[in-house]
Amino acid sequence: MFQKIILKRFLSGMKKSDSSWFTVDKIDECTFVISEYSHWEETHCYLLIGKEKALLIDTGLGVCDISKEVSKLTSKHICAVATHIHWDHIGGHKYYPDFFAHRAELDWLSGKFPLPVETVKQLISKDCILPQEFDIGSYDIFQGKPSSLICDGDTIDLGNRKIIALHTPGHSPGHLCFFEEESGYFFSGDLIYKGMLFANYPSTDPKAYLESLEKVSSLPIKRIFPGHHSLDLKNEIIKEMLHEFRNLDRNGNLHHGAGTFDFGEWSIKL
Ligand SMILES: [Zn+2]
Ligand SMILES: [Zn+2]
């Protein structure tokens, strides 16, 4: 018992290795979730493998090389797309020159990212044992030119799989969710997850957030895959969020500065 406790303490003080940074879980034969549970953001990226190519939805924090994990799962050409251009979703874009982005967030990829790099470095290091291989000193927010723009209603064709992009602004102006009709998989990014949702930054839009929830609530979704935290989301969460957002709107609270509203498994900061 004593030895176990000592060992646990020793391990918790150790730097993590590159290979233990990511957790890969299989959703089905051709769909995987790659998670960063060692970090408080608990970011999830999703790999969708088609007959002709594969799509990586979000590329994570950029602390470790996600392409090493992806290449263990497929040798197909990878297109990357971020649900939105926030630092915690584009960290691995540097490995994927073939990536898509929404027009509304192009500025953030070319010198106008809304947070200073020093603030992002603090967010990465906060309460986290970073891997030995990662040098926070040389970290920079990904900047680059997408191979293609992506718009609302566009279909990404992977051969036998077709993924529809849905423009869902609110958390960010160019936020996208992705829906695969055949499987009913819905990749919700930072629009829907369990935990604190953010619509308080200057670039957020609480009213647009509500409209985006309205928009996705009519989709025939079978499973929701969020950008952060628990993967155990029931479909009812969309209706519940929609209901609470409508109430906030009705009560005159759906605006910046209204505060934080807690609904149990999730909350919204306005
Ligand atoms: Zn975000
Ligand atoms: Zn996020």
- What residues have a C-beta under 5 A from ligand 2, the ion? 88, 190, 227
User: Tokens representing 209?
Assistant: 């957030």
- Give the three-state DSSP class for 267: strand
Ligand with smallest separation from the Cα of 105: 1
pTM over 0.85: yes
User: Tokens representing 265?
Assistant: 């498994």
Per-domain residue ranges of the chain: 19-195+221-231
Give dist(CA 190, CA 197) in Å, integer. Answer: 7
- Over its C-alpha atoms, the chain yields an Rg (Å, rounded) of 19
Note the pLDDT tens digit of each residue in 10-55: 333 344 445 689 999 999 999 999 999 999 999 999 999 999 999 9
Q: 165 CA to middle of ligand 2, Å?
A: 18
Q: In the predicted model, what is the mean pLDDT of residues 115-122?
A: 93
- What residues have a C-beta under 5 A from ligand 1, the ion? 86, 190
Note the pLDDT tens digit of each residue in 53-87: 999 999 999 999 999 999 999 999 999 999 999 99
Give dist(CA 213, CA 198) in Å, integer. Answer: 14
- Give the three-state DSSP class for 22: coil
Instruction: Quickly list DSSP for 155-179.
Output: EEE-SS-EEEEEE--SSSTT-EEEE
What DSSP element (H or E) covers 89?
A: helix 87-90
Note the pLDDT tens digit of each residue in 186-211: 999 999 999 999 999 999 999 999 99
Ligand with smallest separation from the Cα of 108: 1
Give dist(CA 175, CA 101) in Å, integer. Answer: 9
Q: 134 CA to middle of ligand 2, Å?
A: 20
Q: 190 CA to middle of ligand 2, Å?
A: 5
Q: 72 CA to middle of ligand 2, Å?
A: 25
Q: 86 CA to middle of ligand 1, Å?
A: 5
Question: What CATH number does the domain located at 19-195+221-231 have?
Answer: 3.60.15.10
Residue 7 has pLDDT above 80, yes or no: no
